[in-house]
Amino acid sequence: MTINLDSLTPKQIVAELDKYIIGQNDAKKNVAIALRNRWRRMNAPEEMQREITPNNILMIGSTGVGKTEIARRLAKLADAPFTKVEASKFTEVGYVGRDVESMVRDLVESSVHLVQTSRKEAVKDKALEIVEEIILEALVPAMGKTGKKKKVKEVGFENNVPESDEELNQKTRDLFREKLRRGELENKRIEIDVRTSNGPNIGVMGGPIDEMSMMNIQEMIGGMLPKREKKRKMFISDARKILLEEESAKLIDMDEVKEEAIRKAENLGIIFIDEIDKIANSRGSNGGGADVSREGVQRDLLPIVEGSSVNTKYGVINTDHVLFIAAGAFHVSKPSDLIPELQGRFPIRVELQSLKEEDFYRILKEPKSALTRQYEALLSSEGVKLSFEDEALAEIARIAFAVNSEVENIGARRLQTVMSHLLNDIMYDIPDLIKPDTKVVINKELVIERLGSMVKNRDLSQYIL
144/240 same-domain check:
yes
pLDDT in tens, 9-55: 899 999 999 999 999 999 999 999 999 998 899 889 988 988 898 99
327/265 same-domain check:
yes
CATH number (domain holding residue 451) = 1.10.8.60
Give the separation between CA 75 and CA 83, rounded to whole angstroms. Answer: 9
- What is the predicted pLDDT for the residue at 276? 94
169, burial (CB in 10 Å: exposed 0-12, middle 13-18, buried 19+): middle
Does the pLDDT of residue 453 top 80, yes or no? no
- Region of residue 154 (phi > 0: left; psi between -120 and 50: alpha; otherwise: beta): beta
Range of the domain at 216: 124-251
User: What mean pLDDT value characterizes the chain?
Assistant: 84
235/268 same-domain check:
no
Whole-angstrom CA distances from 71 to 38, 43, 213 are: 15, 23, 31
Q: What is the mean pLDDT of residues 149-176?
A: 60
Residue 457 CA neighbour count, 13 Å, CB half: 11
**2 part of a folded domain:** no
**365 part of a folded domain:** yes
The residue among 323, 351, 379 that closes a domain is 351
What amino acid occupies position 336?
S
Helix 236-251 × helix 124-139 angle, to 10°: 130
What amino acid occupies position 49?
Q
383/317 same-domain check:
no
Q: How far apart are the first and last CA of the chain?
A: 34
201/283 same-domain check:
no
**4 part of a folded domain:** no
pLDDT in tens, 35-44: 999 889 988 9
Does the pLDDT of residue 1 top 70, yes or no? no
**231 part of a folded domain:** yes
CATH number (domain holding residue 331) = 3.40.50.300
The residue among 191, 226, 251 that closes a domain is 251
Does the pLDDT of residue 211 top 90, yes or no? no
Does the pLDDT of residue 198 top 90, yes or no? no
**3 part of a folded domain:** no
**5 part of a folded domain:** no
**326 part of a folded domain:** yes
- Region of residue 358 (phi > 0: left; psi between -120 and 50: alpha; otherwise: beta): alpha
**Sheet of 348-351, strand order:** 82-86, 270-274, 323-328, 57-60, 348-351
- What is the predicted pLDDT for the residue at 366? 93
**1 part of a folded domain:** no
112/131 same-domain check:
no
Q: Which of 66, 16, 90, 1 is nearest to 342 (CA)?
A: 90
190/267 same-domain check:
no
- What is the predicted pLDDT for the residue at 91? 77
244/153 same-domain check:
yes
366/429 same-domain check:
yes
Number of domains in the chain: 3
pLDDT in tens, 310-337: 999 999 999 999 999 999 999 888 999 9
The residue among 318, 351, 384 that closes a domain is 351
335/388 same-domain check:
no
pLDDT in tens, 345-386: 999 999 999 999 999 999 999 999 999 999 999 999 989 999
Identify the helix (H) or strand (E) that includes residue 439: strand 439-442
Does the pLDDT of residue 153 top 50, yes or no? no
pLDDT tier at 164, thresholds 50, 70, 90: low
Q: What are the percentages of helix, strand and coil residues in the chain, rounded to 5?
A: 55, 15, 30
pTM: 0.80
234/138 same-domain check:
yes
240/268 same-domain check:
no
